[in-house]
Amino acid sequence: MSDLPKRVRILEEGPREGFQIEKGPITTARKIELIDSLSETGLEQIQVTSFVNPQAVPGMADAEEVARGFKRKEGVRYTGLWLNDKGLERAIATQKLDIKGSLSLTASEKFLLRNQRRTLAQNVEAVRGIISMFKHYNVPINRGSVMAAFGCNFEGDMPTSKVLEMVQQLLDLAAEADIKIEVLSLADTMAWATPGGIHRVVGAVRNKYPELELSLHLHDTRGMGIANAYAGMQMGVKIFDAAVAGLGGCPFASHSGASGNVCTEDLVFMCHEMGIETGIDLEKIIASGLLAEDIVGHPLPGSVMKGGSLDKLRQKVAADMQK
Amino acid sequence: MSDLPKRVRILEEGPREGFQIEKGPITTARKIELIDSLSETGLEQIQVTSFVNPQAVPGMADAEEVARGFKRKEGVRYTGLWLNDKGLERAIATQKLDIKGSLSLTASEKFLLRNQRRTLAQNVEAVRGIISMFKHYNVPINRGSVMAAFGCNFEGDMPTSKVLEMVQQLLDLAAEADIKIEVLSLADTMAWATPGGIHRVVGAVRNKYPELELSLHLHDTRGMGIANAYAGMQMGVKIFDAAVAGLGGCPFASHSGASGNVCTEDLVFMCHEMGIETGIDLEKIIASGLLAEDIVGHPLPGSVMKGGSLDKLRQKVAADMQK
């Protein structure tokens, strides 16, 4: 069973990953309702919204209102996403979020060219700009991420050597700015990973950089999310991004209806059943998942919210034995 | 990465598991269409129908017509399900199926009492009757299975010792009838397994009975199907039941819409991506999955049929490089 962790940290991205992709207009009040529900589950971190161009992502035009509206719960970190100065300024201006910086490189140049119109070299310059921006606003930075670390729809399989090169580049960029990257996230941006790929890439990064705490950002587009998370845990990974009810979808899937991020409550379920702590209340996160489904108005991919928890069945079995 | 097999055998149960649970009437012609489509995918075995009481399972009332209608493809085994003499006689009478016997015990007495109104002891007697029945019809028997091997909604967690006891009982029953059980299937009938449970139970059975070839029948009700299959492969399991598009549903789930069997094409995808052969053509089985969805008239849980294969993307990447 290799070295499964005793506890894993599951960071919620549903409100951001989920609502940006939904077609139907979702009212600000309902977005806030989901965040407030998630706050009660024991989650340590919730990404609540995205401060991006409202013209490009109309579903996120109410970012400020969402930030203003939700109730902060003691002990929970609330984060936001931004891609530039303007977004960061908007996030800071809410005075409601936990502002932390992260540096991101993408392993695939073709993906970069397509999505951000930058070469790998131009992207390195962009990261230097982002570091300056964070420094200007006194935002602490301790996290880096490599996107498309397992493969890319436009470039194909990603060689392990390329991922290692990106990690080194991130560390070099951090070092030249006197920053220490402590957590490194490997993102399966376009759902190319299977457990074999997780073992290969995580193994290589862990061997070369044993001091880095690794984190996985997994998409479930091809149904591998939970198996990949399990493979990650076998490799000692203890931090996972996830989305309640599997909110998210995938703009790169070949058919509509493909799943988004790995589902929070399914991951919590697996962990608890295997004796791995998460600090999250499974029944409460299932309730949040059902709420998310009600909010988007169509079935979401999460499984445990449909299949039900085993602890409920265990309680019923125990109650029946008392009769 | 422990001892992953070089090749796994995936046995298709979609037409039987899937159509018995669908509410809408599905025409015999369309059931046959799916079987004929599956025959072209490289699958070695397809369970085509169930010879059960048409009053109890109206969706299977056309079992004979289905058997009569599909085209046998050379090299493919076509199986059916039956629960008693009458069903077996009906299956034999079709003269179209590969009739092989299997002995089944259930680890949970409460499940047995509920579903078959038998105690564990009565069930042992029933298996003796089934052996006589198979012998009477000259049906070869080389397979045994233990249902509810990972837990039961009515009895709770299943102790490993109980599963081992059931396996021993099966082997004893076989021995007293001069039969040799070569393949043992462990069924997660009510979706209680997580990878930890797979390691525990498969490990214990493999240690005690190293001569038995193990097989897993996994349900995906709580989203663990693919992760459990992966854990099984890590333990050396090389035979898996599966259902195209994840057809099947689960009568024991707490909410409707829960997934059924682990999805054939998702499992094929994971295997191929990890260099494990299946003999199945992924694009063809994806096409069968989309056909199954068209036939049932509602979304099915399979992921790869929505997310698309990676080989198609690889081909596109290669073609783009030629430009």
Name the minimum distance, in Å, from the CA of B258 to any CA of chain A: 5
Residue B269 lies in a domain: yes
Taking CA–CA distances from B245, the nearest residue in chain A reads: A223
Residue B3 lies in a domain: no
Q: Which residues numbered 22-51 in A keep a CB inside 8 Å of some CB on B?
A: none
Question: What would the pLDDT profile of B253-282 be if each residue is shown by its tens digit?
Answer: 555 556 688 999 999 999 999 999 999 999
Put simply, whether B155 touches A (Cβ < 8 Å) is: yes
Mark yes or no for CB contact A157/B314 under 8 Å. Answer: yes
| Cα(B206)–Cα(B201) distance, integer angstroms | 8
Residue A242 confidence class, pLDDT cut points 50, 70, 90? very high
Residue B4 lies in a domain: no
Q: What is the residue-wise DSSP string for B37-93?
A: HHHTTT-SEEEEEEE--TTT-GGGTTHHHHHHHSPP-TT-EEEEEESSHHHHHHHHH
Instruction: For the full predicted model, state whether its pTM sits above 0.80.
Output: yes
Mark yes or no for CB contact A195/B308 under 8 Å. Answer: no
Residue A163 lies in a domain: yes
Which pLDDT value is given to residue B1?
44
From A152, A250, A263, A271, the catalytic residue? A250
Residue A1 confidence class, pLDDT cut points 50, 70, 90? very low
Tell me, yes or no, if A263 is annotated catalytic: no
Which pLDDT value is given to residue B25?
85
Taking CA–CA distances from B154, the nearest residue in chain A reads: A317
Name the minimum distance, in Å, from the CA of A196 to any CA of chain B: 6
Name the minimum distance, in Å, from the CA of B185 to any CA of chain A: 22
Residues of B in contact with A253 (CB under 8 A): 306-308
Question: What would the pLDDT profile of B21-30 be if each residue is shown by its tens digit?
Answer: 777 789 999 9
Put simply, whether B114 touches A (Cβ < 8 Å) is: no
Select from B230, B273, B308 the Cβ nearest to the Cβ of A254.
Answer: B308
Average pLDDT, chain A: 93
The number of folded domains in chain A is 1
Residue A19 confidence class, pLDDT cut points 50, 70, 90? confident
* CA dihedral of A278, A279, A281, A286, whole degrees rounded to 10: -40
Taking CA–CA distances from A200, the nearest residue in chain B reads: B1
Whichever domain contains A86, its CATH number is: 3.20.20.70
Residue A238 lies in a domain: yes
Residue A2 lies in a domain: no
Residue A3 lies in a domain: no
Range of the domain at B229: 9-322
Residue B253 lies in a domain: yes
Q: Which residues numbered 234-293 in A keep a CB inside 8 Å of some CB on B?
A: 250, 253-259, 263, 266, 269-270, 273-275
| Cα(B262)–Cα(B245) distance, integer angstroms | 9
Average pLDDT, chain B: 93
Question: What would the pLDDT profile of B168-188 be if each residue is shown by its tens digit?
Answer: 999 999 999 999 999 999 999
For residues A98 and A142, is the Cβ–Cβ distance under 8 A? no
Mark yes or no for CB contact B303/A154 under 8 Å. Answer: no
Name the minimum distance, in Å, from the CA of A133 to any CA of chain B: 36
Question: What would the pLDDT profile of A123-176 be if each residue is shown by its tens digit?
Answer: 999 999 999 999 999 999 999 999 999 999 999 999 999 999 999 999 999 999
